[in-house]
Amino acid sequence: MNTDYRRYLQPETVSKLKGMELRARMVVEGFIAGLHKSPYHGFSVEFAEHRQYMPGDNIRSIDWKVFAKTDRFYIKQFEEETNLKGYLLLDCSASMNYQSGDRITKFDYAGLLSGALSYMMLRQRDAVGLVTYDQKIRRYIPPRSKSGHLHVLLNEITQQKPGNLTDVSVALHEMAERIKRRGLVVIMSDLLDEADKIISGLKHFRHNKHEVIVFHILDPRERDFAFGAEAAFRDMETGEELTTLPFQIKKDFAQQVRAFSEQIASACRQSNIDYHLIDTSTPFDKALYAFLAKRERLY
């Protein structure tokens, strides 16, 4: 395991999060009475269904009787002893590696948010999983509620290197189909894709009755285009280059970014999706505490 896996969850962050909670606002399918609203009363752990084995699954959950009949690996799924299943979707496309000045990259910002949210959910005895994606899903670590699972998640974030093109909608639609039990889906991305495709993917989760949180992460220069008198720009995903005078297009660029963000935000409001636009000039812990405080007021 990578010895640097704790970079996305520093001790000072842990100490600040101890008194905070991430509560689901909608009904989720959990059993334990407590933080979240559940359609179930009482508690039991019952067999739910079979699903195909995926890398990262515990081999002790394989149904060997089914394997003997089909020559394929299937997992016995049980309703877990947890309040909630959470899924963190982390954008690993090349554009997430952008940073202006001495700021951290958008990917590292999203990684810090992922580490903090993972810690909080596991401390609440919730289950949390991780999905990394670019043009397609790179890695899917199913939700677990054991405390040792935190190391697995942090190590996976550390191992990821942003690269390749973006296709947000492919990952959203695929995961919406994979997740059978309604829970909490948290998406961390710069959303540099076509708005209609992104909205379609987000609505797919809501159609399946998942609660959805979107952290739209941008660098401040991607919002204000405050560059020098003349600059050369290279697309981090396609390599295409363009030389221009930023001051001539600064106003129109910023207006288009605002319009794009407002289009996503409006669609999210209509679908009861929790949307948050954050730029990397705001310390991630300050942004996270503001988000949690706002949810607490609305709960």
CATH 3.40.50.410 fits 5-29+82-298, yes or no: yes
Q: Of all helices (H) and strands (E), which one includes residue 65?
A: helix 64-70
What's the CA gap between 87 and 128, in Å, rounded?
6
What's the CA gap between 144 and 26, in Å, rounded?
21
pLDDT in tens, 14-66: 888 877 788 777 655 543 334 555 444 334 444 556 767 776 677 877 888 88
Tell me the average pLDDT of the chain.
Answer: 83
- Listed residue (8, 157, 154, 135) closest to 90, CA to CA: 157
What's the CA gap between 171 and 130, in Å, rounded?
12
Which sequence spans correspond to the domains of the chain? 5-29+82-298
CB 216 within 8 A of CB 275: yes
Give ∠ CA 213-214-218 in degrees, rounded to 5: 155
Higher pLDDT, 246 or 268: 268
What's the CA gap between 124 and 83, in Å, rounded?
8
pLDDT in tens, 120-177: 999 888 899 999 999 889 999 999 988 889 999 999 999 999 987 778 888 999 999 9
pLDDT in tens, 198-236: 999 999 999 999 999 999 999 998 898 777 666 666 766
Between the ranges 224-238, 239-253, 263-277, where is the mean pLDDT highest? 263-277
Give ∠ CA 78-84-86 in degrees, rounded to 5: 100
Question: How high is the pLDDT of residue 150?
Answer: 93
Task: Give residues with Cβ within 8 angstroms of 31, minimum separation 6.
Answer: 38, 40, 42, 43, 44, 45, 79, 81, 82, 83
Question: How high is the pLDDT of residue 142?
Answer: 93
Strand-pair category, 137-144 with 127-133: antiparallel
Average confidence (pLDDT) over 257-262: 95
CB 96 within 8 A of CB 191: no
pTM > 0.85: no
CB 284 within 8 A of CB 112: yes
